[in-house]
Structure 1
Amino acid sequence: MARTAAALHILVKHKEQAEDIIKQLKKGVKFDVLAKKHSSCPSGKKGGSLGEFKKGQMVPQFDKVCFTGELITPHLVKTKFGWHVIKVLYRT
């Protein structure tokens, strides 16, 4: 069972914007470019990088994707903060 994960994310207010970001990622636009341009989270300045974090450190919906979702594939998740596009890099 993974105890830590590393992820990138982009936080936006609207689902439509998050879905558009996923479309752009699928077309080959770099994650860090989109994070710097669109993310309302301070991590956006670092290309969306959240670094490595422990299981249970993030809000439940976010945590679930980070520890059970497919790696590298962009995921769309709604939390109390807004809509996240999450890219899980690895788990340990």
Structure 2
Amino acid sequence: MAKTASALHILVKHQDKAEDIIAQLKKGAKFQTLAKKYSTCPSGKKGGDLGEFKKGQMVPAFDKVCFTAELITPHLVKTKHGWHVVKVLYRT
């Protein structure tokens, strides 16, 4: 079982905006470019890069996606902070 993961994310307030971002990604838009443009999280300035983090460090719904979902594919997650478009890069 993975102990750490690395992910990029884009945080927005509304589900429709998050779904629009996923649609743009499917059309070939760069994740980092969209993160800098839309993310309300400070990590947006770094292209949404959260770096490597341990299991249990993030809010539960976000953590679950990071440690169980398919790698590289963008995923939509709702948390108390808003809507996240999450791209899990790797797990160790």
Query: TM-score over 0.5 for the alignment?
Result: yes
Aligned partners of 1:7 and 1:18: how far apart in 2?
Answer: 16
Percent identity, aligned pairs only?
83
Structure 1 gaps, min length 5? none
Task: Report the alpha carbon displacement of residue 71 of structure 1 after superposing the two structures with TM.
Answer: 0.1
Aligned with 1:58: secondary structure? coil
Q: How many residues align?
A: 92
Structure 2 gaps, min length 5? none
Task: List structure 1 segments (4+ residues) > 4 angstroms apart after TM superposition.
Answer: none
Aligned with 2:10: secondary structure? strand
Task: Report the alpha carbon displacement of residue 68 of structure 1 after superposing the two structures with TM.
Answer: 0.1
Q: Normalising to structure 2: TM-score of the pair?
A: 1.00
Aligned with 2:50: secondary structure? strand
Q: Normalising to structure 1: TM-score of the pair?
A: 1.00
Task: Report the alpha carbon displacement of residue 53 of structure 1 after superposing the two structures with TM.
Answer: 0.1
Task: Report the alpha carbon displacement of residue 29 of structure 1 after superposing the two structures with TM.
Answer: 0.3
Structure-to-structure mapping, 1:7-18, within 5 angstroms: 7-18=7-18
Aligned partners of 2:16 and 2:23: how far apart in 1?
Answer: 11
